[in-house]
Amino acid sequence: MVVVADDCAIPRSKGETGARGVAGTIFVHKVARATAAAGKSLDEVHAMASLCNSRIWSLGVALDAVTIPGATTMNNRLEGNKIEIGLGIHGEAGIRQSKMMSADEIAKEMVDTVHEFGYKPLNGSGIEKIAEGDNVALLVNNLGGTSNFELAILTRSIVLYLEKVVKCKVTRIFVGALMTSFDMHGVSLSILSLDENNKIAELLDEASDAPVWCNADVWGQTMSERPSATLLPEVVVEPIAVSDVINETVSIPNFSNLAKAAISASCTALIENEPKLTEWDPIVGDGDCGITMARGANEVIKRLEGGMLPLESPSKLLAALADAISASMGGTSGIIFELMLRKASTYLMEAQKSGKVVDEALLSESFSEGVQAGSFYGGAKKGYRTMMDALLPASDVSAKGIKAILFAASEGAESKSRMNEALAGRSNYLSKEQLENTPDPGAKAVSIILTAIVSVKLFDQPKPI
């Protein structure tokens, strides 16, 4: 028999209860199974399981206690901004409660507690601690209600603390929900000090078909850097040739200044309206429209003020704006805006190759072409309750000038709040009641941009005689 007692929440000298067997048990099971699968005798399985068991110690931390199925009351002892350290997997109280900590602080608390507790090596006479240069394996175990995002952040903090402060070598990291407690929002840390002959490590590395067993991030002695810490090489994309036109002729008077003023005004308007867009988006979208729009606007302003936008060339300017959007916005709206800008830029380049001059009419055509590309690749049409309900009507009247474009876009954006059905985008998942009286944030963003452009009276200038 092998009795696992890896919990180090209470001192060894306190009472007769003894330590609990918690997530470190998983390591013992894995080693025992791999030894048996290798055809070893029962005595050899027992010996390896005992060796592993003697070198493990664990500690749990939780933000919320477990909800017991069928219980008539909720366990609310962790209400408020508190965490509990050393609680058990059945929800039993831990050694103490604390105010909320950061991931780095929690990692330090867990590692220090486990490290100071120490372990009793098999056939050893006393308590040992991890020494500088020792190899260890970690199990960062989800107690049931913790997101993968939180697990990853805490795991990083634990590994950094062990390697920089304790100065041991974390050669294997196992992260997942392997010993859970229903919905407990917490994590347990198990540290396994690997033996000098590397027998335990070899058994941990053996393949397993257990459904929730996770492959470890293995860091070998000959590796200079842990695989998960190695940045993937960036995919280098050759710059898009924004113009092959040697002399781009623009017949719009004062175009550079007008373009600069329009870009500045539209970006400022998006940033100022971020709270309203964000207010609408959680109702009919995923909640980040305002933040996404503001992020793109800030990037464009930074490039504008840094002299990175070729204001004298419409085709190059549109391509540069697409680059700025691509580098900052993300999300569906960012993709659609980038597609539109690149198509409009390409349209201007091709038109000029055939001898056309960039004037208001050609810019209007490029706008329409961009919108059509956004609709084609995005799949949305009029009436789908997306930003295309503002853009497509604007495109239809683009030949009539910027003010007609603005009116059509505004009407389209406002009409969306009266639509009780969506056929595309995240609004497609919502009911009539959820959609009612709430405009689409993407369409409203389009209206905000065009309103700002009109505010600088773009193209509303006297024609040259």
Helix 255-272 to helix 314-328 angle (10° resolution) is 20
Q: In angstroms, rounded to a whole number, what is the distance separating the alpha carbons of residues 201 and 218?
A: 10
Q: What angle do CA 54, 29, 21 make, to 5 degrees?
A: 55
> 141 - beta bridge partners?
176, 188
Q: What are phi and psi of 257, to 5 degrees?
A: -70, -40
Instruction: Please give the torsion angle defined by the CA atoms of residues 331, 337, 341 and 344, in that order, rounded to the nearest 10 degrees.
Output: 130
* Helix residue spans in 212-284 (DSSP H): 255-272, 274-284
Dump the DSSP string for 237-249: PPPP-----SS--
Q: What are the phi and psi torsion angles at 404 (to 5°)?
A: -65, -40
What is the rounded CA–CA span in Å between residue 425 and residue 427? 5
Distances (CA, A) of 19 to 53, 120, 123, 229: 13, 13, 19, 35
DSSP 166: I
Give how far the C-alpha of residue 367 lies from the chain's centroid of Cα atoms, to the nearest Å.
33
Q: CA-CA distance, 106 to 108, in Å (whole number)?
A: 5
**Alpha-carbon separation of residue 154 from 105, 150, 402 (angstroms):** 10, 6, 52
Amino acid letter, 296: G
Helix (H/G/I), strand (E/B), else coil: 81: coil
H/E element holding 56?
Answer: strand 56-64
**H or E stretch covering 298:** helix 289-305
Provide the annotated active-site residues: 90
